[in-house]
Amino acid sequence: MAGNKGRGRAAYTFNIEAVGFSRGEKLPDVVLKPPPLFPDTDYKPVPLKTGEGEDYMLALKQELRETMKRMPYFIETPEEKQADPKSKKAKDTDKGTSLANTADVLKKIEELEKRGDGEKSDEENEEKEGSKEKSKEGDDDDEDDAAEQEEYDEEEQEEENDYINSYFEDGDDFGAESDDNMDEATY
């Protein structure tokens, strides 16, 4: 057809000058794959603002986060509450120990604090169901504390005896799993 100059030769359908490339110039490389997930940046990010106000707000933020977790508005899922089957056992054994034990003193303090918080927020929570759930939460907090105490007791007892732990090999699955994949194969 008329207007089809230079058969087979590449021709642009638009005026290449308009976009800024002069004719015959080397065009930039074709992009073959998506950009990398963490591309290199030429410029480092600006440092954060520091100052009294910022420090105070930072402390506030962290405190708020902790406080909100302890408020009655924080609802835990049922799976988390039932996660410790051994906590029930711990609860029974703890009842037998004497109050003189430091660990128990700590547990009592935490229970009482949580009880106190639970009582204060009764005014705000109007539903009957809510208050029933809260008393259940209070019990669950006990269980959680008991579980924590039990873990701690184990560790303390471990350190009091004379056995050197490295003599006994733990299984491969014992202890905290490290999430980084460094040691895939050790020969």
Partner 1 sequence: MTQAEIKLCSLLLQEHFGEIVEKIGVHLIRTGSQPLRVIAHDTGTSLDQVKKALCVLIQHNLVIYQVHKRGVVEYEAQCSRVLRMLRYPRYIYTTKTLYSDTGELIVEELLLNGKMTMSAVVKKVADRLTETMEDGKTMDYAEVSNTFVRLADTHFVQRCPLVPATENSDPGPPPPAPTLVINEKDMYLVPKLSLIGKGKRRRSSDEDAAGEPKAKRPKHTTDNKEPIPDDGIYWQVNLDRFHQHFRDQAIVSAVANRMDQTSSEIVRTMLRMSEITTPSSAPFTQPLSSNELEFVGKSGDSGGGMYVINLHKALTSLATATLESVVQERFGSRCARIFRLVLQKKHLEQKQVEDFAMIPAKEAKDMLYKMLSENFVSLQEIPKTPDHAPSRTFYLYTVNVLSAARMLLHRCYKSIANLIERRQFETKENKRLLEKSQRVEAIIASMQATGAEEAQLQEIEEMITAPERQQLETLKRNVNKLDASEIQVDETIFLLESYIESTMKKQ
Q: How far is the CB of 144 from partner 1 (least distance, A)?
A: 12
Interface region with partner 1, contact rule CB under 8 A, candidates 2-10, 67-75, 89-97, 164-172? 67-75
Q: Is 130 in the site for partner 1 (CB under 8 A)?
A: yes
Q: Is 133 in the site for partner 1 (CB under 8 A)?
A: yes
Name residues contacting partner 1, limited to 136-175 (CB under 8 A). 148, 152, 159
Pairwise CA distance, residues 97 & 104, whole Å: 8
Report the residue from 29, 40, 92, 129 that binds partner 1 according to the rule CB under 8 A: 129
Report the residue from 1, 37, 41, 163 that binds partner 1 according to the rule CB under 8 A: 41
Greatest Cα pair distance in the chain? 104
Report the residue from 1, 3, 7, 14 that binds partner 1 according to the rule CB under 8 A: 14
By rule CB under 8 A, what count of residues binds partner 1?
61
Pairwise CA distance, residues 90 & 105, whole Å: 15
Q: Is 108 in the site for partner 1 (CB under 8 A)?
A: yes
Q: How many CA atoms lie within 13 A of 159 on its CB side?
A: 5
CB nearer to partner 1: pick between 88 and 155: 155
Positions that interact with partner 1 (CB under 8 A): 12-15, 18-21, 41-43, 45-46, 48-49, 53-54, 56-58, 60-62, 64-65, 67-69, 71, 73-77, 80, 99, 102, 105-106, 108-109, 111-112, 115-116, 119-125, 127, 129-130, 133, 148, 152, 159, 176, 179
